[in-house]
Chain A
Amino acid sequence: MKKINFDSKIIFALTLLFIYIILFEYILPINKLLPKPSILLESLIVIWQDYNLILAISITTSVVYLSLFISYFVSRSVAILLIRIEFESPSVLEKLKIFQYFPAFFFAIIFVYWFGNNLIYEFLFTTIFSSIALCIIYVKEFKNINKIYLLVAKNLGLSANQIYSKVAIKSLQPNIFTSMRKIHYQVWILAMIYEFIAGINGFGGIYKDALSYSDFSGLFAIALIIAILILLGSSGITFIHKKLFFWINDKN
Chain B
Amino acid sequence: MIKINCISKAFEHADGISSLILKDISFVINDNKIYSLVGPSGAGKTLLLKIICGFNQADSGRIEKDSKNKILYIPSAPSTFPWLSVEENILFGLDKNNFGNIRELIKLVELDGYEKHYPHNASIGFRFRISLARTLANNPSLICIDDSFNDLNEVPKFELIMLLRKISKIKKIPILLAATNVIDSILLSDVVFLMSKNPGEIVKTYQIDLPVERSKEIITENRFLDLKEIIEKDLNSIQFLQK
Interface residues of A (CB under 8 A from B): 148-149, 151-158, 167, 170-171, 173, 245-250
A113 to B138, CA, bound (A): 58
* B137 to A, closest residue via Cβ: A156
Q: Is the CB of B120 within 8 A of A151?
A: no
Q: Name the contact of B75 in the complex, choosing from A148, A157, A245, A248 (C-beta under 8 A).
A: A148
- Please report whether the interface of chain A is mostly helix, strand, loop or mixed according to DSSP: helix
Q: Name the contact of A153 in the complex, choosing from B83, B93, B120 (C-beta under 8 A).
A: B93
Q: Is the CB of A152 within 8 A of B120?
A: no
Q: A152-B75, A152-B79, A170-B83 are in contact. Are A247 and B120 (CB under 8 A)?
A: yes
A170 to B55, CA, bound (A): 23
> Which B residues are CB-close (under 8 A) to A149?
79, 81
We find that the number of chain B residues with CB closer than 8 angstroms to chain A is 19
Q: Name the contact of B83 in the complex, choosing from A152, A155, A157, A173 (C-beta under 8 A).
A: A173
Q: How far is the CB of B233 from chain A (nearest CB, A)?
A: 35
Q: Is the CB of B79 within 8 A of A249?
A: no
* A250 to B, closest residue via Cβ: B78
> Which A residues are CB-close (under 8 A) to B81?
149, 167, 170-171
Q: A148-B79, A247-B83 are in contact. Are A155 and B120 (CB under 8 A)?
A: no
Q: A154-B55, A155-B53, A156-B138 are in contact. Are A248 and B120 (CB under 8 A)?
A: yes
Q: Is the CB of B92 within 8 A of A156?
A: yes
Residue from A152, A153, A155, A158 having most chain B Cβ neighbours under 10 A: A155
Q: Which 3 A-B pairs have the closest CB atoms?
A: A247-B82, A156-B93, A247-B120
A-B contact count, CB below 8 Å? 50
* A154 to B, closest residue via Cβ: B55
Residue from A148, A158, A167 having most chain B Cβ neighbours under 10 A: A148
A168 to B131, CA, bound (A): 18
Interface residues of B in 34-71 (CB under 8 A from A): 53, 55, 70
Q: How far is the CB of B188 from chain A (nearest CB, A)?
A: 21
Q: Is the CB of A155 within 8 A of B55?
A: yes
Say if the beta carbon of B73 comes within 8 Å of chain A. yes
> Which A residues are CB-close (under 8 A) to B72?
155-156
Q: Is the CB of B83 within 8 A of A171?
A: yes
Say if the beta carbon of B77 comes within 8 Å of chain A. yes
Interchain residue pairs with CB less than 8 A apart (29): A148-B77, A148-B78, A148-B79, A149-B81, A151-B73, A151-B75, A152-B73, A152-B75, A152-B79, A153-B92, A154-B55, A155-B53, A156-B72, A156-B92, A156-B93, A156-B138, A157-B70, A157-B138, A158-B93, A167-B81, A171-B81, A246-B118, A246-B120, A247-B82, A247-B83, A248-B120, A249-B82, A250-B77, A250-B82
